[in-house]
A and B are shown apart, each in its own frame.
Chain A
């Protein structure tokens, strides 16, 4: 027996069986970012204040470039999830809200890919 009203079913409303996905994805990326960001900021205090060669050799280490790529992925994923909630809460126009969510999602993806490619280029020295 369906617990859903016929009207809701016709309109396609109700559970899409993925209600907790956003919540869970936000927590998961948050948990990943705690150690990654502490490592990154701690590393930057010495790396970013040193010269060019130091920064390049730091990124070129496989562990560092791997962690950086993971961190970049988690950062932009988490940022985009967070911005989505902010838009959903504060933009009342549905059209504007969806537009903002889509634009930020694309922008986050673009920046993530650009950052990852940049890290790999530095690491592989081309």
Chain B
């Protein structure tokens, strides 16, 4: 096809990893992860529809070590994708493109995602069935 002697842009690995690029690919990665993770939602709903016994089984799974190891990054990915998605929506409105703003919003997204994850699990542990 084309001229293979054209100069190539520098390959990705010679770049110093930057917050902007890292958060950008993490948005995609978390999106794919969440899409696969929807199976957890389907499983939870089906277990609930299956009756008290199957629901107790699902709760046992989510409460187990394996369940928690899956659930924790899943909730973090959810909040990260949600917060960074809001950042994207601001960009779509043409807001926040200044380089300092991009870095500041990026850091804010990470802090917010960590905070929301901790709040969610904190609430879950504090409630522990105490909905009433």
Contact = CB atoms under 8 A, between A and B. Distances in A.
Given A49-B124, A59-B48, A115-B41, A30 B85 contact: yes
B131 A34 contact: no
B13 interface: no
B131 A47 contact: yes
Contacts of A98: none
B7 interface: no
Interface residues of A, number: 39
Nearest to B117: A41
Contacts of B111: none
A48 B49 contact: no
A52 B55 contact: yes
Interface residues of B, number: 37
Nearest to A111: B42
Given A52-B55, A56-B48, A34 B129 contact: no
Contacts of B82: 33-34, 37-38
B14 interface: no
Contacts of A44: 124
- Residue among A27, A49, A122 with most chain B CB within 10 A: A49
Interface in B31-50: 31-32, 34-35, 38-39, 41-42, 44-46, 48-49
Contacts of A51: 129
Contacts of A58: 131
Contacts of B35: 79-80, 82-83
Interface string A53-69: 11110110000000000
Given A115-B41, A118-B49, 15 more contacts: A30-B85, A33-B85, A41-B120, A45-B123, A45-B127, A46-B124, A49-B131, A50-B129, A52-B52, A52-B56, A56-B48, A82-B32, A86-B28, A118-B42, A118-B45
- Give 7 nearest A-B pairs by CB, closest first: A45-B123, A79-B35, A52-B52, A45-B124, A46-B131, A46-B127, A118-B45
Interface of B: 28, 31-32, 34-35, 38-39, 41-42, 44-46, 48-49, 51-52, 55-56, 59, 62, 75, 78, 82, 85-86, 88-89, 92, 120-121, 123-124, 127-131
5 contacts: A30-B89, A72-B41, A75-B38, A111-B39, A119-B45
